[in-house]
Amino acid sequence: FFQSPENFCRDLNEMQAGMKYLHCLVARLTAAYQAKKADKGLVDFNDLEHFTLAILSDAQVAAQYRCKFEFIFVDEYQDSNLVQETIINRIKRDDNLFLVGDVKQSIYRFRLADPTLFLAKYERWGQPTGHPQRRIDLSTNFRSRPEIINGVNDIFRQIMSSQCGEIDYDEQ
């Protein structure tokens, strides 16, 4: 933010060749990795996600699965990513989705987890009892003694906010 637009343009132009080369290396590595997996008849978790997404891109198939599942339960929802969210949205109904999560426990950003998906629903689902899209806060824990919970809460109340940690640490 301390450079002129001309300096930014010069920097971008200087980086262009290196970035093109890096892009080429990543594309070649990706192709080689996919070829090795294909040779061995293997798939990884990302492949499974994307195959599922491709299958559910067919509206008829998605409708069949939407009817098939009475309920959809997702644990650790704070660690979901956009591909997983899209899969869920293609097979859920308005009344059969149950999500469990705690954004303070989100640890999978390196796997493209997007805690803002959880936070958006957390904010939006503050509906009254009986509404299909309501939030149920589980703020009591029978396994922890008050001394432990109070100590942890004291620490996190001081260091966690919506600016640092993406959520205000409050009574909820």
3-state secondary structure of 34: helix
Cβ distance 160 to 104 under 8 Å? yes
| Phi, psi dihedral angles at 84 (to 5 degrees) | -65, -40
The 3-state DSSP class for residue 20 equals: helix
Three-class DSSP category at 73: strand
Predicted TM-score (pTM) of this structure = 0.69
What pLDDT, in 10s, does the model give residues 106-123?
Answer: 888 877 889 889 888 888
| Confidence check: pLDDT of 99 > 80 | yes
130 is written with which tokens?
A: 């009986």
Tokens of 151: 């100590």
| Dihedral sign (CA 107, 109, 111, 113) | positive
pLDDT digits (tens, 9 = 90+) for 35-59: 999 999 999 999 999 999 999 999 9
Q: Which two tokens stand for residue 80?
A: 């979901």
